[in-house]
Amino acid sequence: SSTEMSDKGGVGMELNLNLVPQRAENMSAYEIMLSESQERMLFVANPGREEEVFEICKKWDVPAVAVGYVIEEPVLRLKHHGESVAELPLNIVCGATPIYQREAKMPQVVIERQKKSALTWDVPEDINNVFEQLIQTPELASKSWVYQQYDFMVRTSTSVRPGSDAAVVRVEGTDKALALSIDGNSRYVFLDPKTGGKTAVAEASRNVICSGGRPLAITDGLNFGNPEKPGIFWQLEQAVSGMAEACNFLKLPVTGGNVSLYNETEGEAIYPTPVVGAVGLIEKNEHTTTQFFQNSDDVLLLLGETKNELGGSAYQQMQLGEICGMPPELNLEKEQTLQQALLENIRCGNVMSAHDLSHGGLALALLTACTEKLGISVDLKSDLRPDIALFSESQSRILLSVSPEKVKQLEASMREKGVPCLRIGQVLPGSKSSAIDFEIVFNGAPLIQAELRNLRDLWQNAIGRVMQR
C-alpha cells in the first residue's frame, strides 16, 4: 500500500517500522512490510490534523498511530531500530516489475458451445408446473434459510434487509444512506467471458439504482481455474476486459478486490466466476426503494426490451441439463440510459417499487416482488414464445410498480428518454383463502394461475427443505 500510494501520487514515503503496531515480538522489517494481516489501512492525513484522526479512531476503538510521512523524492525509505534498512525507487517497484506473459487462447469447446442452439425444445404444455420447478432450483430459490442465521441488524442501521435488490444502511446523523449489492453470473461467463464480465458490473450497478442509490464504485472478486492453461487465462483476460469496459462506460472506479485462481478438482476448473460488489449513495432516505409491491391496484410497468434470448439462462439449464449458445447481449449505452431514467423518476417520487430483471426472468421477478398480502394480475402481449417471454434473462430490464396517478407522468418521462416502457398489469390484494392471486395471461390465454401463498412457500422454503434431508 505504501509503494502504490506514493507512486500514484508522484511522491515518496519514509516509514519508521518500530512504530507499526505488531502482534508478535521481534518481527523483522521484512515481516512487517510483507505481512497481510487483515483489518488494516494506511491513511495519509493533512499535516497538523493528525490528532483529529486519532480522536475519530479512538471513538470507534480503532488503534491508530503515526508511522511516517510523505517526502518529495520518489523513493520508499524504511527505518528499523534506528537504522536505514531499505531505500527503493518507486518507479522500479511499481512500474518496472516483471509481467507474466501467459498464453491466452479461446478453447475449441467454447467455440462449439457458442454455436449450439440455445433453444431445442417445444413450448411446455404446463408452464405453471415448469415455473414451480424453476423457483425451487438452488440458484433461484430464496436464500433466506442462509441469511436468517446471521445478525444483519448489527447497530440497527439496516433500513432494507436482505432479500431486496440491494441492502440499504442508514448513515447516522444524516438524511443519507448507502445501497450495497453483490452480483455475478458464472453461466454467462462460461459461455462468453467478456459479456459475462460486463453484465456483472451492469447488474450490480442496476440493483443499486433500483434501490434509489447513485452508484459510486465497485469492488470485485475474480474466481477462476489454473491461469497457466491458455483456455483459463483467456477466460480471465476476457472477463476482466468486459468488466473494465463496463466500469469505464458507467464511470465506476474499482476500489479494490481479490483474486482466487487455481480452483480445480481433478483437473476440472470451476465455472469462471467474477463477482462484483457495488456501493451507491442514496441522497435522501425518502428515496430508498425496494423490490416489493406497496399497494393493491398499483400499475405494473416493464422497462426495457425482452428478446429471444435463453443462452445461459436458469430455464435453459433446467430444461437441457447444460448451457449453450450465447448469453444475453448487453448494450451499455441503453443500460446507462435506463439507469439514469429510473433514478430520476425515483427521486421525483414516481416509483413505488423497482426490481431488476435478471436471473429467472420476468416470472421470477414478479413472484419475488410479491408480499404475503399483495399478488399480481398480468396480461402480456408478445410475438415471442410464452416461455421465452417469461424466462428470458434479457438485460437492461426493470419491473416497476407505480401508483395510478403517477403512471402517465412516468411513461412520458421514459418515452422522452427512449426507454421502452410497457404496462403489463396491476398489483392485487393477496388472498388468505384458496383463490388465484398470482395470474399471468399471455396473448389472451392463461399461462400461470396459482395461489400466491403456495408459490411463496415453494420458493422461500426450497433450500431449507433440501438442507433438512
pLDDT in tens, 151-206: 666 655 676 767 788 889 898 889 999 999 999 999 999 999 999 999 999 999 99
Return the residue matching grid coordinates 435463453: 310
If you average pLDDT over residues 209-238, what whole number do you get?
96
Q: What is the mean pLDDT of the chain?
A: 92
State the pLDDT at residue 147. Answer: 75
Query: Residue 330 has which C-alpha cell?
Result: 448487453
Q: What is the pTM of this model?
A: 0.85
Query: Residue 90 has which C-alpha cell?
Result: 518507486
Return the residue matching grid coordinates 423457483: 135
CA-CA distance, 323 to 132, in Å (whole number)? 20
In this prediction, residue 434 has a pLDDT band, given cuts at 50, 70 and 90, of low
CA-CA distance, 430 to 371, in Å (whole number)? 8
CA-CA distance, 204 to 213, in Å (whole number)? 12
- Three-state DSSP state, 312: coil
Query: Residue 88 has which C-alpha cell?
Result: 527503493
If you average pLDDT over residues 252-264, what whole number do you get?
94
**Taking a C-beta distance cutoff of 8 angstroms, is the pair 13, 69 a contact?**
yes
State the pLDDT at residue 313. Answer: 95
State which fold the 108-467 domain adopts.
60s Ribosomal Protein L30; Chain: A; (3.30.1330)
DSSP string for 7-28? HHHT-EEEEEGGGS--SSTT--
Q: Is the dihedral of CA 141, 136, 397, 303 positive or negative?
A: negative
State the pLDDT at residue 419. Answer: 97
If you average pLDDT over residues 317-321, what whole number do you get?
93
CA-CA distance, 340 to 359, in Å (whole number)? 22
CA-CA distance, 80 to 308, in Å (whole number)? 65
CA-CA distance, 143 to 152, in Å (whole number)? 14
If you average pLDDT over residues 87-102, what whole number do you get?
84
Q: Is the dihedral of CA 341, 342, 347, 350 positive or negative?
A: positive
CA-CA distance, 30 to 208, in Å (whole number)? 42
State the pLDDT at residue 157. Answer: 64
CATH 3.30.1330.10 positions along the chain are 108-467
Which CATH code for domain 2-95? 3.90.650.10
Pinpoint the alpha helices (H) of 116-185. Answer: 127-134, 144-147
CATH 3.90.650.10 positions along the chain are 2-95
Query: Residue 205 has which C-alpha cell?
Result: 450497478
Cβ atoms within 10 Å, residue 208: 31
Cα Rg for the chain, rounded, in angstroms?
A: 26
- Three-state DSSP state, 426: strand
State the pLDDT at residue 36. Answer: 82
CA-CA distance, 422 to 301, in Å (whole number)? 5
Q: Which of 111, 134, 267 is nearest to 191 (CA)?
A: 111
Q: Which of 460, 328, 343, 446 is nearest to 398 (CA)?
A: 343
Exposure string for 34-63, b = 16+ CB within 10 A, e = fewer: eeeeeeeeeeeeeeeeeeeebeeeeeeeee
Query: Residue 174 has which C-alpha cell?
Result: 444524516
